[in-house]
A and B are shown apart, each in its own frame.
Chain A
Amino acid sequence: MFFRKKIAFKENDIESIISACLANNHLAQKALIKLFFGFAKNIGLPYVDNEQDVDDIINDGFLKVFNNLSKYDHSKPFKIWFKAIIINAAIDYYRKNKKHANQISIDYIEIINEGEDIISKISAQEILNLVQKLPPTYRMVFSLYVIDGYNHREIGEMLGIQEGTSKSNLQDARKKLQLMIKKNYPHLYLAHSLQTNKINEN
């Protein structure tokens, strides 16, 4: 307890880093942060509306990782466990800031299936920016369902909402996203509608 031997680790070997972290080796903790910072940031970004807020999710996420590292099951990939923790941190962040979330009624939006064509013509960063502009509730459901692949039952449990609410939120998120694409990239929609008309004429 008082004279603990420091465990050595290799910077690219995740197992040795985890072992050293469990032995409270601060340098190993730093190495783990360095190794997974980008990954954590990528996971967290779709859940917030700006890059500054993602820092809170990352900080909280890493703290949870180190505090619960002893519970990690070594038989499963660390990346999946880590991703789940970061998503939980994002959900916690959402819950903390829920009172500030504004619900927007988007009943007036007509559903247009823009398809893969339009999305492929927009850059990844632009898509991320659009997702980040979604209202928080829609953004959470959209990110969990579309980006991270959870189903509505899981989303309902995670966010404490009904499965049906999750479905309707996702639908609304899609509508809102389409509206934003239409607003921000009208030329893409124009080209897409012309192409669609040509196909119909033929």
Chain B
Amino acid sequence: MKTEDSDDAIRKKIKSLASPYGQEEIDAVYNYVKQQQTDPERKYYLIGFISLAGLIIFGSLTLNIFQVQKQTNLEHTIDTLKKNLAKSEANNKLIKTDTIYVNNYLAEKGGNNAVANSKNSTQSQPDVTFNSTIPSKKDFNKKSTNKNIVSNNTPLSSRKKNTYLASNGINNKSKTIKTTGNDKLAHYQEVAPSLTQNGTNNTKINESVSKYEKLNKTIAYIIENDVKKDSLTVPQANKFNTENDSSLSKKDTVNSIKNSNNIAIIDSTTNASRKKEFSLAKNLEYRAGVGFEVANSQLGYSILGEMVYKKKLIISVGLKYLSTGKELFSDDDDYHHHKNKNFKNSYAQQVKDSIHHNIKISNTVFQIPITFSYSFQLKKNFSLIFGIGTDIDLYAVQHVEYRHPVTNSDFTQKKFDVKQPTLYFNNTVLSTGLQKQFKHFVFQLSPFVSPQLKNVTYKTESVYYGLRIRAYYCF
């Protein structure tokens, strides 16, 4: 029983105790609660922003998957069409008729007429050279004339007309040349011994054969080059071949072809190296423009430059003028209540009077905004942009205004500016948004969130949410 009595006595004593406390203790608890308590509005903003960002990312990924699928389907269709085209081409072979004229002599064994013919021919055509051409359309009429001349001088059986099929492409054409050339050579080899036996114009015929062999080697050389070398060289060689072979002598033709071929090869390699040199510069695009942003009662105006690599990676740098909205405090107590500091002590050098009303504080900051963005192309010149960056603070100044009561009814307005210490790197900016290009102009609209990594006097919020609009001109 005594224990219970003593317990009651202790309880009564302690309950009756009224511990003294001051306003500072209440303020301390209030500040602690305010600092620790999660602001429901901020929570909603954060949830909204995260949801929006998530939706954009999900949407872009889905769109990307659809586009990839669509592209695969299109590629498949193109492949099918190509195959069909190749098949139809194979079925409908294009028949090109070309004529090769061979001026030569046919020796008939043991026949004087043949020798006589031969003689006659030699007399009528003293310079017997092989004249093989693949006539161009321009030369066709000319060749027709030759044909007539030849037909007068040679028997019908000696004329050999080759008709060949030519498919698309230079190689086939070259093959045809080679085939035709080989036929001619074989024919010459057949004809040569009989001519030698006859003992007439042997030297000239041998010369013709040797010249033809040289030409044949040249053709083989061209064909090799046609196959091996860059396709750029082929048209030049062929062009030369077809245009000049009738006007130049065979030796000159060979040299010219060789030279032209070499030049073509040199030209093609030079172009490739140039392409490599300028590929980086070609992929870069430069933009200059202006920007405007609004976030948590602060406004920013900027001049910007952008460098875009392959229309995907964007580096943006500029100069920004940032103006924070005015903080308003009715009096010293209100200032102390919000800032947990004494107004007079905060601006001891500038504020000498003791009573202050209508305190207004705003800031001006000059910054270098840097953003690294990735652009995801959508349809109709639209693209999604995802960016990360920071604002490097160069200079900050605080503008303070307040009213000081002179008498009960009169007030004096006082103003002063205080330069604030800056931290170059104190925040990070995460943004996601939409970009639209109209010819040379690019417009960007992007919401952003900017958490403060370090505290500075001119930024009061721990996280800034805002919207950014930028317009650029592409050079």
Question: Chain A residues in contact with chain B, CB under 8 A?
Answer: 1-2, 24, 26, 29-30, 33-34, 37-38, 41-42, 45-46, 51, 55, 58-59, 62-63, 66-67, 113-116, 118-120, 122-125, 127-128, 131, 145-147, 149, 174
Q: Which residues of A sit under 8 angstroms from B11, Cβ to Cβ?
A: 146-147, 149
Q: Is B34 an interface residue (CB 8 A)?
A: yes
Shortest Cβ distance from A182 into chain B, in angstroms?
A: 14
A115 touches B5 (CB 8 A): yes
Q: Which residues of A sit under 8 angstroms from B281, Cβ to Cβ?
A: none
Q: Is B475 an interface residue (CB 8 A)?
A: no
Task: Give 5 new A-B contacts, CB below 8 A, not counting A55-B29, A59-B32, A147-B11.
Answer: A24-B41, A66-B37, A116-B9, A119-B10, A128-B13
B5 touches A116 (CB 8 A): yes
Q: Is B44 an interface residue (CB 8 A)?
A: yes
- Which chain A residue has the least Cβ–Cβ distance from B40? A24
Shortest Cβ distance from B327 into chain A, in angstroms?
A: 15
Tell me which of B11, B19, B21 has the highest count of chain A C-beta atoms within 10 A of its own C-beta.
B19
B18 touches A38 (CB 8 A): yes
Shortest Cβ distance from A125 into chain B, in angstroms?
A: 6
B13 touches A37 (CB 8 A): no
Question: Chain B residues in contact with chain A, CB under 8 A?
Answer: 2-3, 5-11, 13-19, 21, 25-26, 28-30, 32-34, 36-37, 39-41, 44
B9 touches A30 (CB 8 A): no
Tell me which of B8, B15, B29 has the highest count of chain A C-beta atoms within 10 A of its own C-beta.
B29
A-B contact pairs, 26 of them (CB 8 A): A24-B39, A26-B34, A29-B30, A30-B26, A37-B26, A41-B21, A42-B15, A46-B14, A51-B19, A55-B25, A62-B33, A113-B6, A115-B5, A115-B6, A116-B9, A118-B6, A119-B6, A119-B10, A119-B13, A125-B17, A127-B13, A127-B14, A128-B13, A131-B14, A147-B11, A147-B14
Shortest Cβ distance from B467 into chain A, in angstroms?
A: 15
A34 touches B25 (CB 8 A): no
Q: Which residues of B sit under 8 angstroms from A174, Cβ to Cβ?
A: 3
Interface of A (DSSP majority class) = helix
B9 touches A120 (CB 8 A): yes
Shortest Cβ distance from B34 into chain A, in angstroms?
A: 7
User: How far, in angstroms, from A146 to B8 measured CA to CA in the complex?
Assistant: 8
Q: Which residues of B sit under 8 angstroms from A128, Cβ to Cβ?
A: 13-14, 17
B2 touches A113 (CB 8 A): yes
Shortest Cβ distance from B2 into chain A, in angstroms?
A: 4
A127 touches B10 (CB 8 A): yes
Set A1, A34, A67, A145: member contacting B37, Cβ < 8 A: A67
B17 touches A42 (CB 8 A): yes
A41 touches B29 (CB 8 A): no
Contacts A1-B44, A55-B28 given: A45-B7 contact, CB under 8 Å?
A: no
Q: Which residues of B sit under 8 angstroms from A116, Cβ to Cβ?
A: 2, 5-6, 8-9
How many pairs, one residue from A and one from B, have CB atoms within 8 Å of each other in the complex?
Answer: 96
A42 touches B18 (CB 8 A): yes
- Which chain A residue has the least Cβ–Cβ distance from B20? A38
Q: Which residues of B sit under 8 angstroms from A123, Cβ to Cβ?
A: 13
Q: Which residues of B sit under 8 angstroms from A127, Cβ to Cβ?
A: 10, 13-14
User: How far, in angstroms, from A146 to B5 measured CA to CA in the complex?
Assistant: 11
Q: Which residues of B sit under 8 angstroms from A55, Cβ to Cβ?
A: 25, 28-29
Q: Which residues of A sit under 8 angstroms from B34, Cβ to Cβ?
A: 26, 29
- Which chain A residue has the least Cβ–Cβ distance from B38? A67
Shortest Cβ distance from B245 into chain A, in angstroms?
A: 86
Shortest Cβ distance from A69 into chain B, in angstroms?
A: 11
Tell me which of B13, B34, B37 has the highest count of chain A C-beta atoms within 10 A of its own C-beta.
B13
Q: Which residues of A sit under 8 angstroms from B36, Cβ to Cβ?
A: 63
Contacts A33-B26, A66-B37 given: A146-B17 contact, CB under 8 Å?
A: no
Q: Which residues of A sit under 8 angstroms from B37, Cβ to Cβ?
A: 63, 66-67
B3 touches A113 (CB 8 A): yes
A38 touches B6 (CB 8 A): no
Q: Which residues of A sit under 8 angstroms from B28, Cβ to Cβ?
A: 55, 59
Q: Which residues of B sit under 8 angstroms from A46, Cβ to Cβ?
A: 14
Q: Which residues of A sit under 8 angstroms from B8, Cβ to Cβ?
A: 116
B33 touches A33 (CB 8 A): yes
Q: Which residues of A sit under 8 angstroms from B25, Cβ to Cβ?
A: 37, 55
Shortest Cβ distance from A200 into chain B, in angstroms?
A: 15
Those 4 A-B pairs whose CB atoms lie nearest each other, nearest first: A119-B9, A113-B2, A124-B13, A124-B17
Shortest Cβ distance from B415 into chain A, in angstroms?
A: 29
User: How far, in angstroms, from A119 to B34 measured CA to CA in the complex?
Assistant: 42
User: How far, in angstroms, from A174 to B36 measured CA to CA in the complex?
Assistant: 39
Shortest Cβ distance from B101 into chain A, in angstroms?
A: 93
- Which chain B residue has the least Cβ–Cβ distance from A142? B10
User: How far, in angstroms, from A58 to B11 measured CA to CA in the complex?
Assistant: 21
B3 touches A37 (CB 8 A): no
B9 touches A37 (CB 8 A): no
Set A59, A67, A113, A124: member contacting B14, Cβ < 8 A: A124
User: How far, in angstroms, from A125 to B2 measured CA to CA in the complex?
Assistant: 22
Shortest Cβ distance from A62 into chain B, in angstroms?
A: 5
Tell me which of B9, B36, B37 has the highest count of chain A C-beta atoms within 10 A of its own C-beta.
B9
Q: Which residues of B sit under 8 angstroms from A114, Cβ to Cβ?
A: 6
User: How far, in angstroms, from A94 to B21 measured CA to CA in the complex?
Assistant: 23
- Which chain B residue has the least Cβ–Cβ distance from A4? B41
Shortest Cβ distance from A60 into chain B, in angstroms?
A: 9
B19 touches A41 (CB 8 A): yes
B32 touches A146 (CB 8 A): no
B3 touches A59 (CB 8 A): no
B19 touches A45 (CB 8 A): yes
User: How far, in angstroms, from A46 to B18 measured CA to CA in the complex?
Assistant: 13
B10 touches A29 (CB 8 A): no
Q: Which residues of B sit under 8 angstroms from A62, Cβ to Cβ?
A: 29, 32-33
Q: Which residues of A sit under 8 angstroms from B21, Cβ to Cβ?
A: 37-38, 41
Shortest Cβ distance from B31 into chain A, in angstroms?
A: 10
B10 touches A63 (CB 8 A): no
User: How far, in angstroms, from A55 to B3 measured CA to CA in the complex?
Assistant: 32
A33 touches B5 (CB 8 A): no
